[in-house]
Amino acid sequence: MTDMNMMSGDVDPEALAHPQPLFKMMRDAAPVIDLGESMRMMLVGGDTDVRHVLQHPEIFSSGVDAVQIGQIRPLIPLQIDPPKHKNYRKLLDPIFAPKQIALLEDATRSLVRGLVAAVAGNSGCNFHDAVAEPLPSTVFLQLLGLPVSRAAEFIALKDGIIRPVATTQEERLAAVSRTGAQIYAVLQEVIDERAAEREDDFISMFLDAEVDGERLTHDDVLDIGYLFFLAGLDTVTASLDCMLAYLAQHPEQRRRLVDDPTLIPHAVEEMLRWESPVQGVVRITTQETEVAGCPIPANQVVSVMLGSANTDERTWDRPDEIDFQREANKHIAFGGGAHRCLGSHLARMELRVALEEWHAAIPEYRLADGIVLLYSQGLRAVENLELVW
């Protein structure tokens, strides 16, 4: 185990844009990196070790102590560990099954076409603002049952949790707590409305759902909604940002998708592997343990680096080559184990449809002159993704 204080400071823009060399340096240093007293976190970056952590929630818990994002109770199902976790997944998995997601594709495609048509006649756009943010936000707000007319307000609340504006840890925790209270209030308002009159949305469905013969409580519905609110409004946006940023800078790869759109589903998987928009997930140990011979104490926060695992040369053949025809692409961009991303099928559909419709309408594009892309930490959104054509 190595103490790597340099990784606990601010990361420079180049490392945020191209984190793979930093990941390799981390893997070469040790299986477990201790970020020291100031950070109170350890990093695990090897593919085999990351998968081990994710497959053992009884030791590496995803419970409420692992990460604080303004919640007042454990978020369902993310912060509920097995065996109770299984009951909630039994309820939620069918809602996000491939057959159900397929029913959403036509409406999603229509939405994307409208977003793309709004800018196609121009000479350029900010892709983040024009497509990457409104697409998943609209889809998920409609599914959840929140008014799309308030999307800007909800996106601001989501950013207040994921990217709070604060200079100290105390300020950050206070800001996140205030924002969390606002999100709970928004969700409670909708839950109260649906309790009086059901509609065709997730919240209505949750209010009528049962787990082991018992109805979900309103707090259960609130805790599911809080998680969905954050996950549904950000991860696909960040993924789209990363993908279009990559394609705008690699015209030969972009032309392959334009010439052969059947490659797009494979390209989505490969760019998820390479870019890994969600760079890592956090766990906390329930007991003393070890990873690859490195001791880890109980109650230790461990950051599991998905992006590093997805580019580990000890597991992947040609990890630094972006191959849209890669076989057996078993990346873990959506996590792994019991807590693997519930919405992965929805995300894949949105990403595929967005790339299909964008390249059908705007096959030639590049970064605007002088633009240096600024990737956010954690979830890798790119708000200054200025494209021209």
Query: Would you call 191 exposed, middle or buried from its count of C-beta atoms within 10 A (0-12, 13-18, 19+)?
Result: buried
With pLDDT > 90 as the criterion, what percentage of the chain qualifies? Answer: 86
Over residues 299-309, mean pLDDT = 97
Residue 41 burial class via C-beta count within 10 angstroms: exposed 0-12, middle 13-18, buried 19 and up: middle
In angstroms, the Cα distances linking 133 to 44, 247, 365 are: 31, 18, 19
Q: What are the backbone angles phi and psi of residue 16, rounded to the nearest 5°?
A: -70, -35
Pair 350, 88: CB distance under 8 Å: no
Whether residue 333 contacts residue 278, with contact meaning beta carbons closer than 8 Å, is answered with: yes
- What confidence score (pLDDT) does residue 4 get? 45
Q: What is the DSSP letter of 149?
A: G
Average pLDDT score over the chain: 94
Which pLDDT belongs to residue 3?
52
User: Where would I find the H helices in the chain?
Assistant: 13-17, 20-29, 47-54, 84-92, 98-102, 105-120, 127, 134-144, 151-162, 169-196, 202-208, 218-232, 235-249, 251-259, 264-275, 306-309, 344-361
Could you report the per-residue pLDDT of 345-370, keeping only the tens digit for each? Answer: 999 999 999 999 999 999 999 999 99
Residue 7 has pLDDT above 80, yes or no: no
**CATH number assigned to the domain with residue range 2-388, chosen from the 4 options 3.40.50.300, 1.10.630.10, 3.30.1360.70, 3.40.50.920:** 1.10.630.10
For residue range 105-160, list pLDDT tens digits in order.
Answer: 999 999 999 999 999 999 999 999 999 999 999 999 999 999 999 999 999 999 99
Nearest Cα residue to 219 out of 255, 180, 191: 191
Burial class (CB in 10 A: 0-12, 13-18, 19+), 157: buried
Q: Would you state the pLDDT for residue 210?
A: 84
| Residue 68 in this model has a pLDDT that exceeds 90 | no
Report the alpha-carbon distance of residue 335 to residue 318 in Å, rounded: 21
H-helix or E-strand containing 82? none
Residue 74 contacts residue 63 (beta carbons within 8 Å): yes
pLDDT at 6 over 60: no
Structure tokens at 32: 């477990």
Q: What order do you get walking across the sheet with 386-388 strand by strand?
A: 124-126, 386-388, 366-367
The residue count of the chain comes to 389
CB within 8 A of 162, min separation 6: which ones? Answer: 69, 230, 234, 378, 379
Decide: helix, strand or coil at residue 145.
coil
Q: Give domain limits for the chain.
A: 2-388
Tell me what pLDDT residue 232 has.
Answer: 86
% residues pLDDT > 70 (the chain): 97
Tell me the pLDDT tens digit for each residue of 75-93: 999 999 999 999 999 999 9
Going 153 to 230 to 140 to 218, the CA torsion angle's sign is: negative
Average pLDDT over residues 192-198: 96
Q: Is the pLDDT of residue 167 over 90?
A: no
Residue 1, helix vs strand vs coil? coil
What distance in Å separates the CA atoms of residue 59 and residue 289, rounded to the nearest whole number? 8
Q: Which residues contact 252 (CB under 8 A, 6 or more apart)?
A: none
324: left (phi over 0), alpha (psi -120 to 50) or beta: alpha
